[in-house]
Chains A and B, each alone.
Chain A
Amino acid sequence: MNLVLAPLAVTGAAVLGLLAAVGRGALFAVAVLSHLVRPPFYLREFAAALMTIGYLSLPVVGLTALFTGGALALQIYAGGARFNAAAVVPSIVAIGMVRELGPVLGGLMVAARVASSIAAELGTMKVTEQIDALVTLSTHPLKYLAVPRVAAATLAVPVLVAVGDAIGIFGGYLVGTGRLGFDPATYLRNTVEFLEVWDVGSGLVKGAAFGFIVALMGAWFGMTSGRGAQGVGAATKAAVVTASVLILAANYVLTELFFSA
């Protein structure tokens, strides 16, 4: 009997634990959203987060986009050549970057850089009682620590995605004209001609959603971090992994929403 029930009990406990964690995370997200529109607003903290999350992420997002755009041009050229469609390189690079690769890779790079740093910072603050100190100073920790970061990431990541899109397309242009023999003027014309406003817009909406996810996960795992260095390390790892998986899942849902026939 126990041999049958024991695995079921373990599975049940794991599922219940997962559901409880999802529920707590969802409540945290709702609390952050509700505080986004209620004063007081910590503008100094928001500006600092905007700088850390947005401006300082530019190099990593830009380099990722540059190499991805170049590699994409090579891949499409090699694949397209099999059925005499090599000429589509400029338009496919542009559409691929702005719709998919720009937001997803940008989101993942920001997740690696930002979710980890938010989780580690807030986790350390929790372990060293700085979050308790905030409460004793009549300051709501969620409002002071999580809300400015979530707001900044939600606004900054679409901008990063837009810059990444441009750099990625430029990477494709460099490879297309320098390596694959495309005429520069034709390459640019084809890029612009086949790109629609919604291609870019959908990528930016994805960027906003991914920014929200990244900062939310960083703040959630940081503020609920366990004790000691091990607790902070585990929180940081969980923040990056969860943010990355949620970005990929949200990407599918949003793509389905935006582009399903």
Chain B
Amino acid sequence: MIALADVHRAFGANRVLRGVTLAVGKGESLVVIGGSGSGKSVLLKCILGLVPPDRGQIALDGQDVTRLPRDAFLARFGMLFQGGALFDSLRVWENVAFRLLRGPGRRPREEARAQALARLARVGLGPATADLYPAELSGGMQKRVGLARAIAADPEVIFFDEPTAGLDPIMAGVINALIRRIVVEMGATAITITHDMTSVRAIADRVAMLHDGVIRWEGPVAALDAADDPCLQQFIHGRAEGPIAALR
């Protein structure tokens, strides 16, 4: 469904992506792992066109994404940002119903609110949360609202950027389970980026490791522990010693 071929991106002298080639099938849940600053978020932003790649090709269903109508392309995606990226000035339900309140698919406010409440219920939040502002929510609740917003328009592809960052282990487990359940229920294609190995095992069908700007290893999640790649083994076991420099 999504295919990246030799994608490069540099910021000044810092060559973050140095030829990423990666494919994700329809309905598949791929988790991209890699150290901090390895370019995982940039990879997602390149696919969405938030950060244009310097060279290489990104295709959605075989079509070059730069040639697809922008709004129609973005309408197929939902994204959960690392910090939630909820709009501070809008109430929780207005955040979730953002697409439904604006643009071509605009709905009356009451209908949009009802749909937002349904999405909030799906991520385990009651109607009492709907009229709060994001600043009034805990970190875990903000993630859930971000998740509700990401799935509000029933996207075909969902991106999760560090979905459990900053959460306690229990809340991280709740979010991981929610993501897995929603992705399976919706039949959506998912790309998650994380360095939390518990999330990897809970969410992934397949895992890819981004290191030194390229996909260093990829395979099914079940093959992770048996893989003989020293970088991958150092990463999944969190060892300070190994081929990946601790100080980068």
The residues of A with any CB-CB pair to B shorter than 8 Å are: 40, 42, 48, 124-125, 128-130, 132-133, 135-139, 144
Min CB distance B141 to A, Å, is 16
A128 to B166, CA, bound (A): 14
Interface residue? B160 (CB, 8 A): no
Partner of B48, one of A42, A136, A144: A136
Partner of A135, one of B74, B78, B83: B74
Contacts of A132 in B (CB 8 A): 45, 50, 81, 85
**Which residues of B (52-88) have their CB < 8 Å from a CB of A?**
70-71, 74-75, 77-79, 81-83, 85-88
Whether the pair A133, B87 counts as a contact (CB closer than 8 A) is yes
Q: Could you give 30 example pairs across A and B, Cβ below 8 Å?
A: A40-B103, A42-B102, A128-B83, A129-B81, A129-B85, A130-B85, A130-B87, A132-B45, A132-B50, A132-B81, A132-B85, A133-B79, A133-B86, A135-B49, A135-B50, A136-B48, A136-B50, A136-B77, A136-B78, A136-B79, A137-B98, A137-B99, A137-B149, A138-B71, A138-B75, A138-B99, A139-B98, A139-B102, A139-B103, A144-B102
A133 to B86, CA, bound (A): 8
A68 to B70, CA, bound (A): 52
Contacts of A128 in B (CB 8 A): 83, 85
Contacts of B70 in A (CB 8 A): 138
Contacts of A144 in B (CB 8 A): 102
Min CB distance A241 to B, Å, is 26
Q: Contacts A133-B85, A138-B75 known; list 18 others, CB within 8 Å.
A: A42-B102, A125-B88, A130-B86, A130-B87, A132-B81, A133-B79, A133-B87, A135-B49, A135-B50, A136-B48, A136-B78, A137-B98, A137-B99, A138-B70, A138-B71, A138-B103, A139-B98, A139-B103
| Residue among A42, A48, A135, A138 having the largest count of chain B Cβ atoms under 10 Å | A138
A87 to B102, CA, bound (A): 59
Min CB distance A148 to B, Å, is 12
Q: How large is the interface on B (under 10, 10 to 19, 20 to 34, 35 or more residues)?
A: 20 to 34
Whether the pair A129, B83 counts as a contact (CB closer than 8 A) is yes
Contacts of B88 in A (CB 8 A): 124-125, 130
A137 to B149, CA, bound (A): 9
Q: Please name the residue on chain A nearest to B72 by beta carbon.
A: A138
Min CB distance B189 to A, Å, is 15
Contacts of B89 in A (CB 8 A): 48
Q: Please name the residue on chain A nearest to B102 by beta carbon.
A: A139
A132 to B159, CA, bound (A): 13
Q: Please name the residue on chain A nearest to B103 by beta carbon.
A: A138
A40 to B82, CA, bound (A): 29
Contacts of A133 in B (CB 8 A): 79, 81, 85-87
Q: Please name the residue on chain B nearest to A42 by beta carbon.
A: B102
Whether the pair B74, A136 counts as a contact (CB closer than 8 A) is yes
A124 to B149, CA, bound (A): 20
Contacts of A137 in B (CB 8 A): 74, 98-99, 149
Q: Please name the residue on chain A nearest to B150 by beta carbon.
A: A136
A195 to B149, CA, bound (A): 57
A48 to B94, CA, bound (A): 15
Q: Please name the residue on chain A nearest to B146 by beta carbon.
A: A133
Contact with A along B231-247 (1 / 0, CB 8 A): 00000000000000000
Min CB distance A35 to B, Å, is 14
A51 to B128, CA, bound (A): 28
A48 to B49, CA, bound (A): 30
**Which residues of B (97-116) have their CB < 8 Å from a CB of A?**
98-99, 102-103
Min CB distance B86 to A, Å, is 8
A42 to B103, CA, bound (A): 9
Partner of A138, one of B74, B82, B85: B74
| Residue among B48, B49, B85, B89 having the largest count of chain A Cβ atoms under 10 Å | B85
A67 to B48, CA, bound (A): 53
Min CB distance A151 to B, Å, is 17
Contacts of B102 in A (CB 8 A): 40, 42, 139, 144
Contacts of A125 in B (CB 8 A): 87-88
Partner of B82, one of A129, A130, A135, A139: A129
Contacts of B83 in A (CB 8 A): 128-129
Contacts of B149 in A (CB 8 A): 137
A119 to B3, CA, bound (A): 38
A133 to B103, CA, bound (A): 15
Q: Please name the residue on chain A nearest to B79 by beta carbon.
A: A136
